[in-house]
Structure 1
Amino acid sequence: MTRPRWRDAFFLLSPFATVLGVMMVIWAVYGPPETFHEWTQTFIQLPSAVALLWHRKAPLLLLALCAASAIAMTVSAYTDPQLFVGDLNTNPQWVPLATPFAVGVAFKRIPGSCRMWACTALLIVISTRCWAPSFDAVTGGAFFTLFPALFGLYIGNRASLIRALTDRAERAEREQELLAEQARADERVRLAGEMHDVVTHRVSLMVLQAGALRITAPDDATRTAAEELREAGCQALDELRDLVGVLRAQSGADEEEQTDAVRLPDLAELVAESRGVGMSVELIVDGNPLLTAPVVGRTAYRVVQEALTNVRKHAPDARTRVHVRYGADRVRLTVRNGPSQRTGELGDSGSGTGLLGLRQRVELVSGRFTAAARPDGGFEVDAILPAFVPTTES
């Protein structure tokens, strides 16, 4: 929140007005200047007093003018007191009236300046007259220099602390906004992964079944309906690919969801679905699946599901073997298909992010994932998962 302009004007003009008011009071008590010496004693105050109007923009210049005036007054005190000082008994201070403001502003705005410290030290020495100390000189010097310095330092540190706290609050607010945006982006990526893993798998099965019906149907009407169903499924996969691309607008790893209370589908059912559309799939399971954590079982299911979906897309006539080995400390999945004699009808219908999504899923549970073509023309997907992954589930 910004301050009103009248407050800025008040704080800008108040030092100059204060010094001018003190000079007016002195004139009212002792009378206005009349002689040459009285005028020179007044003029020595003017440079630093006028410089108070720029105390925010040029605090060092103001302090230097005060120091120069103090030097001139000290020299005058030992050569010609009536030039700038006047009666030594009634004027114990040999520094200009603007000195307290100059010292306070300097310590508030430029506390780390070496020139500021040099000018302030000079003013303290002159105001307290360290070479000939007296009670009046020391107390007056402390009032003119030491107390304003401490007050200015306090105000400057307080302002710095307020700025730091404000910056920290604004930074925390920005971080909260970034975290919220990251959470939304991660949710989009998670939804994209789920959509790719689940919907693509089911729709591709539907398209393959429609294609098989088109070939085996006994009449033209059924074949025409099957062809329309197959084309609609392919179009749905294309639209799904575009939607997944939108949801993946911001790249990042999927947040691993907590395992549902519902038991996940068995791998045997997944393989049976692929066999039902004419694929040649063999499932080999070694070990006890119950020894693995639920999150690992879910990840294994997604790996096999996506691997079989890719085989249906790119090599539907290839012989495929799914080998799952459950060990005491790890689970290894291998989905290997042989060479294919023809390209699947769904080869260009995917989003192109299936293997990337699998790699992210596997790495989220601290596993290793590889996918590469084989020398015989086939393809192999290999994933090694830990048997147990700590979760926050109760």
Structure 2
Amino acid sequence: MLAGDLALAGVLVLIGLGVEDIDNGSAARMLASAVAVVVLTLLRRRLPVSTLVAGSVVGVYLPGAFLVAIPLGWSAGRRIVGVGRALGAFTGAFALAVVLSVVKEWSQGRAVLIVVFSALMFLAMVVMPGLASRYWSQRHTLLRALQERNAQLLRERAMVAGQARLRERQRIAQDMHDSLGHQLALISVHTGALEVDPVLTDRQREAVGVLRQASVAAMHELREVVGILRDGVEAPLPVEEAQPAARGVAGIAGIVESARSAGTDVRLTTAGQPRPLVAACDHAAYRIAQEALTNAYKHAPGAPITVELRYEDDSLVVEIANGPAAGPGAGEVVSGGQGLTGLRERARLVGGMVYAGTAEGGGFRVAGVLPYGTEPAGAEEAGPGAVADDFGQQVQARTLSGNAGPVDWDAVDRKLLNGSRVGGVTLGCGIAVAAVVVLLIVIGAAVALLVGSVSDATIGRAEYDEIQVGEPESAVRSRLPSGDTILTDGLDRKGPPIPRGASCLALLAEGGGDWDSDSVFRFCFKDGKLVEKQAYEAKQ
């Protein structure tokens, strides 16, 4: 900010020195103009009212510092708090500039022209930048307030949604605990009692033990799921209870061994160089093997099952296949109907896929392809505008084009801020252009008025010479223009002393004068007669 102000001051100083040189300003006045520009530019942000008033005074007496009024008006319009205070500051600066200009040029006798010119210059160089700056500042403040309110609403909505999800999770967790927990506890108790029944054979007792261990493991997993649903963290397990089997690729051997213990013909093979998987893919591989083995138990009892783990170059393939059922099923099969659907969804979320279908020669085959990588599916495609739902799915956020999905509020904020900056610059340029156009129109109208009044303010040398002192005033005035224009205002007082008691008519000489002086013909009347006529040069 300081560097920008210094650069602006440097540019204004260079332009001001050029203006002072054209106006034949002294070295002291050039130095004063440069110092005034630098000081006012550096202080305009901290003291907007004082610098605005001081700039109005300095611009009257130091032509090289008049351009500093533009940044002073911009800062004052933006930084003065309160409409009344801003209006008072601009009005006071305007009145001070006009009064001082009239006082300075009073000897020239053109007060009306000075007032009009000063008002136009103040309007174009101070008022217009101030209005543009104030509008831009208020619009920027409004947009910032809207963005803060929008952020607050989003936070509140997220809190309400989080509370609703938490209540729903707690309800689901309570239902699971009350229903499944009770049933699993009954299974564990009854299988435990059946395991020590002396009537059973060793083979039967071993099978019942497998059932009891399965129910205990299921109870552990249910407790973890209930803990995650209720609190968002895994529930701790009691020390005295057995730890559940690892739910990853390393745990597949455990569920295969459990199936063998229950009397199922299961073979596990591994091909390729084992490689580590990320947690989500590791857990998905375990669930694919677990669900496929469960389906094989239910739908093809007695059929041999093969479980194969193939570590390929870019992915792990988990394949479970069973032959046709060895005999009729045990009766109605209890199934939720969502096992394979859940596996496909789980694999999709980690960037993999699951195939399920009949195998050659009968039987069924389930194969899952899981990547080794760390990014969930769709993370790269979703990009920075994506948001994750409660299940980890990546959903592409809706942009401002109107596509379906959640709103990308970051894009909205960026658009609002960019629109604010572009709109502020556009508005400032538009107001500046409008001010220039208005100024040009006024100047054009003034020029047209002056050109139209030239005939009322000028006479030729021959007309001046024809008029003789002593002629009646009425005869002389009838031969002369009226001289009632701003072009002749004050010219009668710039020549020799006016005779006592006389009234004079001053007119411009046609084609006379230089760029800094006017050739004047003056006629003075007293007691109804022309008592004096003078020709002289009047400094502008």
TM range (shorter): 0.3 to 0.5
Instruction: State the structure with bigger RCO (CA 8 A, min sep 6), 1 or 2.
Output: 1
TM-score by length of 1: 0.43
Give the greater-gyration-radius structure (CA): 2
